Chains A and B, each alone.
Chain A
Amino acid sequence: MKDIRLMKGNEAIAEGVIRAGCDGYFGYPITPQSEVLEYLMATNTEKRTGMVTLQAESEIASIHMVYGGAGAGKRVMTSSSSPGISLMQEGISFMAGTELPCLLLNVVRGGPGLGTIQPSQSDYFQAVKGGGHGDYKMIVLAPASVQEMYDFAKLGFELAFKHRIQVMVLSDGAIGQMMEKVELDEQLPRLTDEEIVKKYPWATTGKTPDRPRNIITSLDLNPVKQEIININLQKKFKHIEETEVRFERIECDDAEYLFVAYGSSARVCQKAVQLGRARGIKVGLLRPITLFPYPVEEVAKLAKQVKGMLAIEMSAGQMVEDVRLAVNGVVPVAHYGRLGGILPAPDEVIHELEKNFINK
């Protein structure tokens, strides 16, 4: 019998991490994602699987607790929304420098500053281009449904440990708050301490006589060595670009026009594709699922097929820059965005498509 439940996006990812065998969650409340911490506390993770759930004194503390746990080989995570993620950038950069795996969730709200508690996609640059100091990337997953909020918990941890990298689920207030049905899978067991010692020989689990001491540090004052560390990091990011791209094509096969959108905006565009097709416009949707690595090749391929692309985002135009880089001038690329916590409507999006490319 399938285990199907009606859940909020934020609850779904909380349930997802428990079932993915997460060892520890450290977080600080902020709308629109407080349900994650609330759900974990209410379900009593300590009793259920032995998973630690701790409310920290700040997002800064949260991310450094995650650093400590990850450095000791545990599956750890934190979640927040935009202002809190800004505070975490120091710790994320340190985790990038030490190549520590973790899962991070940003349920994006509008900014800058305290902004609004309504959904937005205005943290794309911060998530995809680095965010903190130094040359680094995280894997960024963009869920477009409550099911994906759930699924990306497990996928996120898998990718994080496969590549020793931070994985951010870049969601938004709409996906976090809406309710949909979710199919749950079986509980994965948490790794035992002995398994961690075997699986992650780099982790600080206590120095035993059979190995040299393990050190988690991002410091090397020797510039020659530091350059090598950085070159190796870049190699890893390149490898991820070559192997981990994920996207969804919706009605793309015969498309003459293309929406490019992720997360909530992709849901809006999915409806807009139906509306457009009913009006005789051959429009499709490319939905990037990984924002880093970005589906560059797929966009470039579609650029040879369509007459124009329209990036739809709840931002003033962030992801569109990656679309333009991939298209490289082959076809016109336009952008339409709503700001401040407003979701665009499907007919608004179709209107923009017509205005930019069809009724010219």
Chain B
Amino acid sequence: MDHILTRDEVTVPENLVYSRTCLLTDNALSYCPGCGHGTAHRLIMETIEEMGLQADTIGVAPVGCSVLAYDFMDIDMQQAAHGRAPAVATGIKRLYPHKTVFTYQGDGDLAAIGTGETLHACNRGENIAIFFVNNGIYGMTGGQMAPTTLPGMKTATSPFGRDTASMGFPLKMTELIAQLPGTYYVTRQAVHTPAAVRKTKKAVEKAFQYQKLNKGLCFVEIVSNCNSGWKMTPLESNKWMEENMFPYFPLGDIKLPKP
């Protein structure tokens, strides 16, 4: 090898194959390295940019690790109380029926404290999109048991593993809301491999496209890792997710629009 390319020699326009969407701000992401939240943010913002929806979109951030989503997404946003994002989004969308409105929520936010708001927003067929990042744990508060924590899984509040006899079963919110006539498009995806990322991107695009049809709520679950909460390396966590989370939360479309 005679010459090692310098950084400046590599980063020239003709070598550019990909760049960060301009709708992600320059603020450093607050997520742990390896966490899926960042990729999920990126896909949503890329789609908004590509569809030219920035001036049209109002996002709702949850309480959870993504509480600061508005620091990273360069669009108008409201931060909702824990679990209430679908109600907040309902208030916005009903008063601005032509705008694009979405929520971004974790599993504790959406499937525990906000179960009621989620179910009823789905049941009313609110014309919004819900992006649901399911990592089977309460990441933000330090790794406690979530409604989606798998049986036997150890967390800070299930230190001997989730005992379904006393702690109940992981809640499949996505299957639950797919049964409601108010939902239009319901899918479960992941962001741990390039192939999964491409599929999720398609799902995000559909969720935004379908919103314009006013035919009901679009729901995209993203099964994701919480390497910190699971106490694993990012690689281990993705492997663990494939082996343990996907069998319980199988990936794929759950409800597709009727042709």
Interface, chain A (partner B; CB < 8 A):
23-24, 26, 52, 54, 56-58, 60-62, 64-72, 74, 76, 90-91, 94, 98, 193, 204-209, 213-219
Chain B residue numbers with a CB within 8 Å of A69 are 91-92, 94-95
Chain B 64-107 interface residues, beta-carbon cutoff 8 Å to A: 67-68, 70, 73-81, 84, 87-92, 94-96, 99
Chain A residue with the shortest CB-CB distance to B96: A72
Instruction: Contact check, B70 vs A24: say whether CB atoms are below 8 A apart.
Output: no
Contact B95–A204 (Cβ < 8 Å): no
| Chain A hits for B61, CB < 8 A | 217
Q: How many Å lie between the Cα of A71 and that of B87 in the bound state?
A: 13
Give the CA-CA distance A60 to B92 in the complex, in Å: 16
**A/B interface sample: 19 pairs, CB < 8 A:** A56-B120, A60-B87, A64-B80, A64-B81, A67-B78, A68-B80, A68-B91, A69-B95, A71-B78, A72-B92, A76-B91, A204-B76, A205-B58, A206-B75, A209-B55, A216-B78, A217-B70, A218-B79, A219-B67
Nearest opposing residue in chain A for B100, CB measure? A206
Q: Complex Cα distance A58/B113, Å?
A: 14
| Cross-interface CB contact of A64 among B55, B57, B76, B88, cutoff 8 Å | B88
Known: A61-B120, A72-B96, A193-B96. A213 touches B91 (CB 8 A): no
Question: Are A64 and B116 in touch, CB under 8 angstroms?
Answer: no
Q: Kindly identify, within residues 37 to 68 of chain B, every residue whose CB is under 8 Å from any CB belonging to chain A.
A: 54-58, 60-61, 67-68
B242 sits at the interface (CB 8 A) = no
B123 to chain A, nearest CB (A): 8
Since A24-B94, A65-B87, A215-B77 are in contact, a sample of 5 more A-B pairs with Cβ atoms closer than 8 Å, ordered by chain A residue number, is: A60-B84, A65-B91, A69-B94, A207-B75, A215-B79
Residues of A within 8 A of B205 (CB): none
**Residue tally, chain B, CB below 8 Å to A:** 33
Residue among A52, A90, A214, A216 making CB contact with B94, cutoff 8 Å: A52
Bound Cα distance from A167 to B148, whole angstroms: 39
- What residues of chain B have their CB less than 8 Å away from a CB belonging to chain A? 54-58, 60-61, 67-68, 70, 73-81, 84, 87-92, 94-96, 99, 116-117, 120
Best-buried of B70, B87, B91 by chain A (most CB within 10 Å): B91
B79 touches A65 (CB 8 A): no
Q: Which of A26, A54, A68, A70 has the most CB of B within 10 A?
A: A68
Pairwise interchain contact B79-A64, C-beta atoms closer than 8 A: no
**Contact across chains for B58 and A72 when beta carbons are under 8 A apart:** yes
Contacting residues, chain A, for B92 (C-beta < 8 A)? 68-69, 71-72, 204
Q: For B116, give its contact among A52, A58, A67, A94 (CB under 8 Å).
A: A58
Give every chain A residue within 8 A of B76 (Cβ-Cβ): 204-207, 213-215
Please tell me if the beta carbons of A67 and B58 are within 8 angstroms of each other in the complex. no
Of A74, A91, A213, A219, the residue contacting B84 (CB under 8 A) is: A91
Rounded to whole angstroms, the CA-CA distance of A344 and B58 in the bound complex is 51
Chain A neighbourhood of B80, CB < 8 A = 64, 67-68, 94
Contact A204 B91 (CB under 8 A): no
Inter-chain contact B95/A206, CB cutoff 8 Å: no
Residues from chain B with a CB closer than 8 A to the CB of A71 are 78, 88, 91-92
Q: A68-B89, A207-B54 are in contact. Are A219 and B79 (CB under 8 A)?
A: yes
CA distance A183 to B192 in the complex (A): 65
Closest-CB distance, B129 to chain A (whole angstroms) = 15
Instruction: Name the residue on B nearest A67 (C-beta).
Output: B88
Q: Which residues of A contact B57 (CB under 8 A)?
A: 206-207
Q: A204 touching B77 by the CB < 8 A rule?
A: yes
Q: Is the CB of A207 within 8 A of B81?
A: no
Minimum CB distance partner of A61 in chain B: B87
Residues of A near B73 (CB, < 8 A) are: 213
Q: Which residue of B lies closest to A91 (CB)?
A: B81
Bound complex: CA of A217 vs CA of B70, how far in Å?
9
Q: Which residues of B contact A90 (CB under 8 A)?
A: 81, 84
> A226 vs B115: C-alpha distance in the bound complex, in angstroms?
30
B29 nearest CB across to chain A (Å): 15
Would you call A67 and B91 a contact (CB within 8 A)? yes
Closest 5 CB pairs of A and B: A68-B91, A65-B91, A64-B87, A217-B79, A68-B88
What's the minimum C-beta distance from B242 to chain A, rounded to whole angstroms?
34
Closest CB in chain B relative to A198 CB, distance in Å: 15
B55 near A207: Cβ-Cβ < 8 Å: yes
Instruction: Give which listed residue, A26, A94, A204, A218, contacts B58 with CB less than 8 A.
Output: A204
Are B94 and A54 in contact, CB atoms less than 8 angstroms apart?
Answer: yes
- Provide the residues of chain A in CB contact with B70, threshold 8 Å: 213, 215, 217
Contacts of B95 on A, CB cut-off 8 Å?
23-24, 52, 68-69, 72, 74, 76
Query: Which residue of B56, B60, B87, B89 is within 8 Å of A56 (Cβ)?
Result: B87
CB distance B74 to A60 under 8 Å?
A: no
* A272 vs B11: C-alpha distance when bound (angstroms): 86
Of A60, A68, A209, A213, which contacts B75 at CB under 8 A?
Answer: A213
